[in-house]
Amino acid sequence: MGHQRRSAARTRVLLSTAAVLGVITSGGLWGTAQAAAPGPAAPATTWTTTTVAPGVQVRSATLENRGAAPLWTVTVQAPATGRLSRSATWAPVGARYWADATAERLRAGGFAPRVEQVYWPAYADTPHGVMGLRVRVGTYATEAAARRAAQAVTAAGFHTAVDWTGYDADQPADRQNVHVAVVDPPRFLGTVQGTHDGDVARRATTSSVAAKLGSVVGVNAGFFVTSDADGVQGTQSGISADDGELQSMAAGSRAALVIEDGGRRARVADLKTTVTVSAGTYVHDVQGINRTPGLVRDCGRPGATPSERPWQDVTCHSSDELVLFTGEFGARLPTGPGAQAVLDAGGRVVSAGARGGSVPAHATVVQGIGPAADWLRARARKGQRIGVREDVRDTAGRSVRLGRGDSIVSAAPTLVSRGRTRIDAAAEGVVDPRDLSFGYAWANARQPRTMAGVDARGRLILATVDGRRRDGSEGFTLQEAASFMRSLGAVDALALDGGGSTAMAVDGVLVTNPSDATGERAVGGTLQVLLSRPRP
């Protein structure tokens, strides 16, 4: 009888979730002032539920809105100037005077343009109302037809892009494939951990790490470096911690998922980090952990240029900083002008000199460039003890104490706070109200997404949505991601890395459909749900 009650309760939860998701896919919870009217057919939702371990359930759904009818179109882009780069670029929307003038030029050239108002999503820290206007030409059943039309518009002197209207926030999606894992700490006998699989400088696919560790569920975690020009590939661009050890520093005060005591508790908080090294009475700030000195991916560090604020997918620079390297940095250490000191497990300097080599076992390396290198040369003498102090705090000033079994994974932005949608998109550097060329597609259009949250019962929710049409699934906007997490009962939630990084593995097998043409992307870090003992 108890089992029947639990099954009935579970069915009611799933039906409730499906009902809310039906509203999302038909335009009701986008937060834009001009959502498209839903089609005549109700969204079709098919849910499957699997218990993969005691206290761990995976739910999958295909959300279909048969009333949606997305098509291909040609977007004429507006000239813009990047606020950080100061260089000429293009934006998908522009001001009224530009839209009117562009439409007039298109009509004079024999085209039939349409001008559409684009509205700001309901972000917590951006303007409301009209964001700008976009100018489009035609609708086409195939991408090839749209590209042929775009060639003609381009030849007439316009800058164009070929777009699928199913990615637009003001149009209903026709298909979204979602996977949700729910971990109930009182019933789950295993652990949840953020992991770089022993090397923060190595990229690996989520499913390969899951298979190696024998996890029941794994998802990709935080943002990471993907290009040698931006640092060491695989290293994190926000705060991360593995088994109580800080492996990278925060980019400003961005959102983070804090996993405590191996998953017994989880919470979402905006975190910032302060790290210092000391030699006697001399103290110096550390600006990075496990990254190339001078290169600050996603910015967000004091002294970096062109900005100390976090900026998504932007690499800032610094000419004066100390960077620590832990034992989990498995790559060759960065080389170049500056200084380096190797510290033993007790913090004593065992060698000092030029930058390079590798991190010895049970050691820490400190590198400095610019004036920070001069400080290190003067203080890091053989036998000298160099103390390291790390401080992690939330925006309320509360200390986050890391111990064995604790993990932190971070990305951006916050989606849900205290049960309410609260997307601080500008503060966390994923959009810029003063530069519509920045972050528009990343935040405001539908993309593959990975999300994490905690519900009122303390259960951890990990969710993914496929996107970019490899299987027809169109993804979520940030607004839809927040609404989705709330529909699952999350009282706090954040976005993890998305796009081609989005992946979920169940029992070591990938269940998501990667958006990259080459298949599942190798990522910098993952979040794994592990059994403490083999299943019977």
Looking at the predicted structure, is the pLDDT value of residue 242 above 60? yes
pLDDT at 469: 78
pLDDT at 511: 97
pLDDT at 15: 35
Mean pLDDT of the region 261-273: 96
Does 205 map to a domain?
A: no
Alpha-carbon distance 153 to 513, whole Å? 34
pLDDT at 46: 73
Residue 270 lies in domain: 223-394
Residues 125 and 46 sit within 8 Å (Cβ to Cβ): no
11-47: per-residue pLDDT in tens?
333 333 344 444 333 333 222 223 333 333 445 577 8
- The kind and range of the H/E element at 371 are helix 371-379
Q: Which residue has the tokens 């060329």?
A: 437
Looking at the predicted structure, is the pLDDT value of residue 468 above 50? yes
Looking at the predicted structure, is the pLDDT value of residue 152 above 90? yes
Q: Which residue has the tokens 């003498």?
A: 381
pLDDT at 173: 93
Does 322 map to a domain?
A: yes
pLDDT at 533: 53
491-511: per-residue pLDDT in tens?
999 999 999 999 999 999 999
Does 267 map to a domain?
A: yes
CA distances 52 to 17, 55, 190, 215, Å, are 20, 8, 12, 10
Does 348 map to a domain?
A: yes
Report the mean per-residue pLDDT for the chain.
91
Mean pLDDT of the region 356-381: 97
Does 390 map to a domain?
A: yes
Residues 380 and 364 sit within 8 Å (Cβ to Cβ): no
Does 123 map to a domain?
A: no
Does 287 map to a domain?
A: yes
pLDDT at 471: 76
Per the structure, the count of domains in the chain is 1
SS3 (DSSP) at 461: strand
Buried b (16+ CB within 10 A) or exposed e, 325-340: bbbbbbbebbeeebbb
pLDDT at 26: 34
SS3 (DSSP) at 444: helix
Does 368 map to a domain?
A: yes
pLDDT band at 66 (very low <50, low <70, confident <90, very high): confident
